[in-house]
Amino acid sequence: MAVTVNLAFALDFTLIKKENNVSDPTLLVVGGIQGDEPGGFNASTILATHYTITKGNVWVVPNLNFYSIVKRSRGPYGDMNRKFATLKKSDPEYKIVQRIKSIITDKQVDLVVNMHDGSGFYREKYIDKLHNPYKWGQSSIIDQATFDFNSPYKDLLKISQYVVKHVNEHLLDKEHRYHTHNTKTREGDVEMAKSLTYFAINNKKPAFGNEATKEFSTPYRVYYHLLALEAYMNYMGIKFSRNFELTPKDIASVINEDYEVTLFEKITIPTKGIRSKLRYFPIDKDRTVYRSKNPLICAIKEGNSYKLHYGNHSITSLSPQFFRYDDSLKKLELLVDGEVKDVPTGSTICVDKYFKVRSKKGFRVNIIGYSNSKKIETDVKIYHNDIPKRFSIDKDGKIFRIEVYRDKKFSGMFLVKFR
């Protein structure tokens, strides 16, 4: 499932619904409320993109505070997780907070989990500076032990203990043990009273925080987050499958997949191994749509450039060359290693030895970096060595641009990838 976003709202969060029967239990998972906690927002994203829900329903917001994720900040406008009690309309994050509140209070939502990365290792008694009651890592957070209203999930302590038990049965090291941390918010914890989970509780929604420790690398944090989320789903009777093994190594592979991002329906580029700056990209400044299968990928206009980000990481910067767009080109005919192919606009073509772009009446083809004495770029066999590597869009010098124009308008881009 691709997420399509308007650039003007590129930093609004995404809600992904994985539903079966709406009358079955619905779990809401929120990640990215603080942008310097990649375990939480990567785990939420993997749940949204690599799990199949076969019974029950799971709603995922993987990138709640998207701007803070891009900026690698706890909160450029303050801590969003302290804005759920009162908030002025003048606050830059007011609309985001109001929108997530409406999702939390939706009548279909039965249970809420807010994903965090916390410092150290929570322990009920002081052991040392890293293991003590003032740390938050490796804990299941509840604001109170139980509810006084009717809900199959009103016993928060019991559910938290169930989750903790499940996680502790799959530890990678005995130091990694999870514990339940009851903040007893109603008894006077002023800061926690401003949090997302306490807002949920005050609106009769069972809510939990899940904290993996910041002492771990991101794949290890995600491992423990996913263990906890699977425990919540098991408790609620939500059935699921995933397309990877639940190990830090496999999680790292999922995070580092080569995701594509499509700009304006005409330009598709990979996210892995790309040069940090790509020049003279044909862009129509009046078009503002991009899409990707990964909700942590965004495109932002910054000054005269378009910056692509994947979570906390910058992918590349596009220096635009502005054109009006022509929408008449749907595909292009290429001869690839002797085989004729009709290639849709925006595609990547894999090549072993050579390719040839067939001429198309009314259109001009520009293979970026290629030149010959006849100044013809169609109906000519082109090998890898015919294009200088400095013109590639990737650091390995294997991926090159084919741009097509009609009169003075840009009609589409194709990528050629030499194996």
Distance CA 314, CA 298 (A): 10
> If you average pLDDT over residues 409-413, what whole number do you get?
96
pLDDT above 70: percentage of residues in the chain: 98
- The DSSP letter of residue 145 is S
> Is the CB of residue 179 less than 8 Å from the CB of residue 168?
no
- The pair of structure tokens assigned to 183 is 């903040």
Angle value at C-alpha 351, between 350 and 357, nearest 5 degrees: 100
- What integer pLDDT is reported at residue 9 of this predicted model? 43
Q: Give the amino acid at 201.
A: I
Stretch 196-213: mean pLDDT? 98
Mean pLDDT of 329-344: 95
pLDDT cut 90: percent of the chain above it: 88
Both tokens of residue 29? 């998972």
Q: For 36-183, where are the E strands, in sequence order?
A: 51-55, 57-61, 111-118, 121-122, 131-132, 139-142, 179-182
When pLDDT is cut at 50, 70 and 90, the band that residue 5 belongs to is low
pLDDT band, very low/low/confident/very high, at 7 (cuts 50, 70, 90): very low
Separation in Å, CA 362 to CA 140, 308, 330: 63, 33, 14
Does residue 8 surpass a pLDDT of 50? no
Once rounded to an integer, what is the mean pLDDT over residues 154-172?
98
Query: Residue 247: left (phi > 0), alpha (psi -120 to 50), or beta?
Result: beta
* Per-residue model confidence as pLDDT tens digits over 106-138: 999 999 999 999 999 999 999 999 999 999 999
pLDDT mean over 361-378: 92
Query: Rounded to whole angstroms, how far apart are CA atoms 356 and 351?
Result: 10
Domain 7-255 CATH (choose: 3.40.630.10, 3.30.70.100, 3.40.1350.10, 3.10.20.30): 3.40.630.10
For residue range 253-307, what is the model confidence (pLDDT) as tens digits?
999 999 989 888 888 999 999 999 999 999 888 877 788 999 999 988 888 888 9
- The pLDDT of residue 16 is 97
Domain ranges of the chain: 7-255, 260-322, 331-418
For 31-71, write each residue's pLDDT tens digit: 999 999 999 999 999 999 999 999 999 999 999 999 999 99
Tally the residues of the chain. Answer: 419
Lowest mean pLDDT among 3-7, 38-42, 214-218, 341-345: 3-7
Q: 81-88 long-range CB contacts below 8 Å, 24 or more apart? A: 81/33, 81/34, 81/114, 81/194, 81/195, 81/196, 82/191, 82/194, 82/195, 83/194, 84/194, 84/195, 84/196, 84/198, 84/199, 85/193, 85/194, 85/198, 85/199
